[in-house]
Every structure is written in C-alpha cells, then in structure tokens.
Amino acid sequence: MLKVWRTLLFITGLSVGLTYAQDDSPSGTQIPESVQSMHAESVEETFSYEQLRRFARAFALVKNQYVEPISDEKLVDAAIAGMMNELDPHSSYLNKDDMIDLQEETEGEFGGLGIEVGEDNGFVKIISPIEGTPAAKAGVLPGDVIVKINGEEMKGKQMSEVIKLLRGDPGTTITLTLRRAKSPTLVDLEIKRELIKGRSVRSKMIDDTAYFRISQFQTNTVNDLVHQIRAIKTTPNSIVLDLRNDPGGLLNVSVGVVQIFSDTKRTIVSTKARNHVVEEFSRYTPDNILQTSAVLKDLPNWLHSVPMVVLLNVGSASASEIVAGALQDFKRATIMGNRSFGKGSVQVVLAIDEDTGIKLTTARYYTPNGRSIQAKGIKPDIVVSDTAKGDLFRTPREADLADHLKNENAEDDTAVDKDNAVKEDTKQETEAGGSKDETMYEFGSDQDFQLQQALNYLHGKPVNQGVVADAVKINKSAEGDSGNKTLEESESNTKEVAEPAKKAPNDATQDSPSSTVGDATKTETTSSKGTTTKDNHADKESSKSLNGDKEPTKALDKALDKVLEKK
C-alpha cells in the first residue's frame, strides 16, 4: 500500500504546504452549503490490463531498438513524468532531488544564499536579501535581476530551476551575474553558501500599527508569529498582515494564522475531493510532534478587535489565499492590493518507493462562505497598484497556465479565465521593457507604496490607488457572501483615492469597515446594479453616479458603453 506522505499546496516553481484530516471537529461546525455533498460510495474503477500491455510493449520497443542504450530507470522516470505532465500544472513526478527539496521547503532549512525571489519578464528578480545572510553580506540589493549563475544564462528558465542552482551545500561558492537598476554594466558577485534557517515571519511596529509579513507558510510559522506577537509590549491600534509574493505553504499553518487574527469557531477552509468527499478544517493542529496547539492560548485580545488590512498581490497563492479568503468572509479584515494568483487546489504527495514519489492534485478548496478561488483568485476590497506608477510584478496567474483546473463554481469558466489572465497590453508592456517604474523596493520599507496606502486607510487618511486600470468606485462585493466592499471596474486608468472608515470590525460577526472615495465625504446610494458612492462636495460633473443619476455625463456614458461591450 502506498504511503501518503503529505497533502500539499503548490505554486509554479515552489513546493509548499501540508495538511491532513481532522478526525474530531468541534461541535456546531458547519460545512458551507455550496460545498456540501453526500459522501459517495468509493467505486474502484476497473483496471485495464490491456492498456498496461500497450505500455509494456512500448517500453520494450524503446529499450531494445533506440539508437543508443538507455537504462530502465531513465525510461520509467520519463514515463511517469510524462503521465503526470498530462494532468494539471501542479501534479508532477518527484525524483530523489525533488523529494529532498520538498522537505527543505517545508522545514525551512537549506544550504543557500538567503534571498526572496520572484519572476519578472522571463528572469528571476531579487525581492529582498534576508538580513545577515550571505546574499546581504555580499551586497545583493532588492530589484537585482539574476542574469547568469556560474556563467549560465538564466533567461526563460523556470523559477524552480533557478532556485535549485542557487542552493547547494554550505561552504560551496556560486557566482551571480546581476543586472542592477540604473546601472549600465552587469555586476558579478561571488558568494559562499551557508545553512539558511528561513525566517518565514517578520514583524515590526510602525507607529501604532503592528506589521507582520509572512513570506511562506512553514512548519514553524505559527510558533514564530506567536513569539513575535508576544514580544509587542504596547497595544497596537491596527494591524497589517503582508502576504504579498507568498506562494503558500502548509494548510494547517494557514488555519492557525486565521485563528490568531479572528475569534471564530467556524470552518476556516473546506476541501472537496473526488466522489464529493468533503473535509473541513476549523482549528490549528501542528504536524510536528514537538509543537502543540496550546501556543494559541491566552493571546492578546487586540488581535481580534483592532482594524486590520491584508496585503495581497499576483504572487500570493494557495495558503495565502486561504488566509485572505477566510478573513474576508469573516469580515475581519479589509483586503488591499492586487488580485491574487488563484490556486484553489490541494496536492497529495504519494511515495512510490523510498526515494521518489508523485505530487497529485486530489481536491479543490473553498473559503468559509463556500467560494472557490481556483483560476479566479481573491479580489481585493480596495485595489492598489504595486507602485504609484503602476504594477511591478508581472507573474502569470493560475488562469494563464495550460491545463489548469476550471472553477466549478463559475457559470462561465472562459469568462473567469479571461478576467484573471494576463491582459495582452500587460504582456506587450512587459516584453517591451517592463513596468513604468522598474525600481524595486523592500516589502515593509518606507518605499513600499501599498503598505503606505494600507497605513493611510487604517488611519482614516486618503488612499492613493496608484495606476489602477478599471477602478472608479467602491461597490459591495458580489463575490460570495463576504459583504466586503470592493472596487468596480471601468475603463479609467487614473489615480483614485479611497478614504475608509476609521474603525474596523471588533469581531467576526460585525460588518466590514465602510469605505469612501475622494477627499470629501461620500454617501452611499443603492440601485438595482449595486451600491455606488456619491460625492457631496466634489465637482458636480464628477460626482454623478452611474446608477443613481438620471442624466450621466457623456464621458461616463462612453465609459459605460465600453464596459458593456467588453462584457
């Protein structure tokens, strides 16, 4: 019998995540109606030995007649890999090296340089060197683009390939050739690898706001987060949880993070597998026998009461989306930034033998209100571009990947994919040289535009949305039953300003913070098309509501016509 190793959440190039069934859920926990189904009888499909004979015949023909000798192991590995490649993008064959990498990812210890990376226009870009690591000591800077590793060109390589080249035994050296912003020449750095103990959680106080950044959901993430929370001696007036460029991780850890920030007994995430078998996860259960869920006891009350913003971008996937989706459904936090990646599937690692295995997609997951984010992502309540001049990160989303799973909750999968895929003008802009603002910044720094807007929002100040195509007004979200407010889409490509209410929900049952647009106070008007905003003090022409005014301006008419044409 094959051994089930772990259930994983995975994003292109990075293996992350693990979960397992919870046998005894608290009483009163409900599975969302949209996910409910009867547990179907397990039906074992008839195995066709005729198909296996066909495979054996093909194997023998290649083995005996290929122009050069080839080993049985290589042929079998290639056959398994080919079979897995015919499935969705997150199912794959794991050879011995892949299994080792997987363990390193989840445990957070490996030989390497100590950098956070992301994809950008066919290259891997440095998001941030980790303080005190070989990369930081050698002078690697945020925004550096890896052009070569040990003289080998990196353009077009998968991020997983680049990461493998960056890692190695502690004490070995590696030469990075970097392209630096505003530098006419390439920079060569020789760096000695060290044992990196990944810090998945960083935090600091920004005036009266507690800022927490989670870069990946690893085994020690909950313990590290709790430790840093307990180190805060004063009571913050607000919270920012930064999940940008977080590819995901351990599912049980994401459940623990939601528990930390919301006082809820509800289901946090549900999974539905083949034959409609549903599992629910409503509390944190550590996978490490040295850890205990008691770490979540006696946490400060402000974690559940002060206003909160969660920052997302296109690189936020899997476990990140579970956390954001739950906090959005619970009306605990306002989601800000860009639409997330849209990976709503669960993978299981099954051992083939002692050294190899397969990573197989076995289920879809759902937010507390039964929303599937597969190929769709989490839609922010307030859209804010990466920088004041536009978006910096151009990573393709799940909807852009070939053979991705469809969103079974969507009436029109094509529409969902089209809405979330990289737009043609974005692709062309990227190929022509990237975004208008190539200056990379460190998440959490003073140059972090989205963070500054989150702080403005939490303090009741105007929020600059940057260059946000398709954002003109704040509207109640039509997604699920979250009740959060989100930005409607239009043809405008201008800077918009949003000013929130100064108080966020005190518990999971309260309404989400109300939002306003512009420097002047707004009053909400509701029509058959939804809730819109009307400016009481701004210019008369700009204050007209698309839904509420009887005589809209010609400019707004034209914009609406274009929207309707696209739809």
Closest to 121 measured CA to CA, from 475, 428, 449: 428
In this chain, the answer to whether the domains covering 111-197 and 201-407+443-459 adopt an identical fold is no
Q: SS3 for 9?
A: strand
How far apart are the C-alpha atoms of 271 and 254, rounded to whole Å? 14
pLDDT number for residue 476? 37
Q: Print the SS3 string covering 194-246.
A: EEEECCCEEEEEECCEEEEEECCECCCHHHHHHHHHHCCCCCCCEEEEECCCC
pLDDT number for residue 186? 95
What is the CATH class of 201-407+443-459? alpha beta
How is the chain split into domains, by residue range? Answer: 111-197, 201-407+443-459
Please confirm, yes or no, whether 329 is among the known catalytic residues. yes
Torsion of Cα atoms, 315 then 316 then 317 then 319, to 10°: 150
Of 99-108, 278-287, 425-434, 447-456, the one with minimum mean pLDDT is 425-434
How far apart are the C-alpha atoms of 264 and 108, rounded to whole Å? 29
The better pLDDT of the pair 456, 286 is held by 456
Q: How far is CA 359 from the centre of its chain?
A: 19
| Helix-then-strand count for the chain, H and E | 12, 28
Q: In the chain, how long is the greatest CA-to-CA distance? A: 83
The strand pairing partners of 242, in sequence order, are 213, 311
**Over the stretch 159-195, which tens digit does the pLDDT of each residue have?**
888 988 999 999 999 999 999 987 889 999 999 999 9
How far apart are the C-alpha atoms of 90 and 249, rounded to whole Å? 14
Please report which confidence band the pLDDT of residue 49 belongs to, taking 50, 70 and 90 as the band edges.
confident
pLDDT number for residue 258? 98
Please report which confidence band the pLDDT of residue 284 belongs to, taking 50, 70 and 90 as the band edges.
very high
Spot the catalytic one: 203, 262, 318, 340. Answer: 318
Spot the catalytic one: 88, 101, 329, 535. Answer: 329
Q: What is the mean pLDDT of residues 548-553?
A: 39
Please confirm, yes or no, whether 343 is among the known catalytic residues. yes
pLDDT number for residue 394? 74
**Over the stretch 104-155, which tens digit does the pLDDT of each residue have?**
877 777 889 988 887 777 889 887 787 678 998 999 988 889 999 999 999 9
Q: Given a cut of 80, is residue 502 above it in pLDDT?
A: no
pLDDT number for residue 432? 33
Please report which confidence band the pLDDT of residue 484 belongs to, taking 50, 70 and 90 as the band edges.
very low
Q: SS3 for 451?
A: helix
Q: Given a cut of 90, is residue 447 above it in pLDDT?
A: yes
Q: What is the mean pLDDT of residues 298-319?
A: 96
- Nearest-5° angle of CA 257, CA 261, CA 263? 115
Please confirm, yes or no, whether 381 is among the known catalytic residues. no
- Nearest-5° angle of CA 217, CA 117, CA 437? 120
Please report which confidence band the pLDDT of residue 410 belongs to, taking 50, 70 and 90 as the band edges.
low
Residue 486, both tokens: 């989100």
Question: What angle, rounded to 10 degrees, do the helices at 49-65 and 72-85 form?
Answer: 130
Q: How many CB atoms lie within 10 A of CB 92?
A: 22
How far apart are the C-alpha atoms of 382 and 397, rounded to whole Å? 19
- Phi/psi for 257 (5° steps) reads -65, -40
pLDDT number for residue 118? 78
How far apart are the C-alpha atoms of 161 and 509, rounded to whole Å? 45
Of 36-40, 309-313, 530-534, the one with minimum mean pLDDT is 530-534
How far apart are the C-alpha atoms of 297 and 295, rounded to whole Å? 6
- Per-residue CA distances from 490 to 151, 161, 493, 555, 566 (Å): 46, 39, 9, 12, 10
- Phi/psi for 125 (5° steps) reads -110, 145
pLDDT number for residue 85? 93
Determine what percent of the chain is predicted with pLDDT higher than 90.
51
pLDDT number for residue 24? 35
Q: How far is CA 177 from the centre of its chain?
A: 29
How far apart are the C-alpha atoms of 9 and 414, rounded to whole Å? 24
Q: What is the mean pLDDT of residues 450-470?
A: 93
Closest to 113 measured CA to CA, from 155, 163, 180, 161: 163
Length reported for the chain: 567
How far apart are the C-alpha atoms of 493 and 559, rounded to whole Å? 11
Spot the catalytic one: 272, 331, 343, 544. Answer: 343
- Per-residue CA distances from 450 to 63, 312, 323, 465, 471 (Å): 57, 9, 19, 8, 16
pLDDT number for residue 552? 37
How far apart are the C-alpha atoms of 21 and 280, rounded to whole Å? 8
How far apart are the C-alpha atoms of 261 and 79, rounded to whole Å? 46
Please report which confidence band the pLDDT of residue 46 belongs to, taking 50, 70 and 90 as the band edges.
low
Residue 355, both tokens: 């050294």
The better pLDDT of the pair 397, 412 is held by 397
Q: Print the SS3 string covering 510-544.
A: CCCCCEEECCCCEEEEEECCEEEEEECCCCCCCCC
pLDDT number for residue 312? 97
Q: Given a cut of 50, is residue 208 above it in pLDDT?
A: yes
Q: What b/e string do you get for 46-66 counting C-beta neighbours within 10 Å, with b at 16 or more?
A: eeeeeeeeeeeeeeeeeeeee
How far apart are the C-alpha atoms of 307 and 320, rounded to whole Å? 19
pLDDT number for residue 45? 58
Q: What is the mean pLDDT of the chain?
A: 76
How far apart are the C-alpha atoms of 392 and 386, rounded to whole Å? 6
- Residues 6 or more apart from 233 whose CB is under 8 A from it? none
The secondary structure element, H or E, covering residue 120 is strand 115-120
Domain 111-197, second-level architecture: Roll (2.30)
pLDDT number for residue 127? 78
How far apart are the C-alpha atoms of 135 and 129, rounded to whole Å? 6
- Nearest-5° angle of CA 61, CA 64, CA 65? 75
Closest to 409 measured CA to CA, from 506, 359, 344: 344
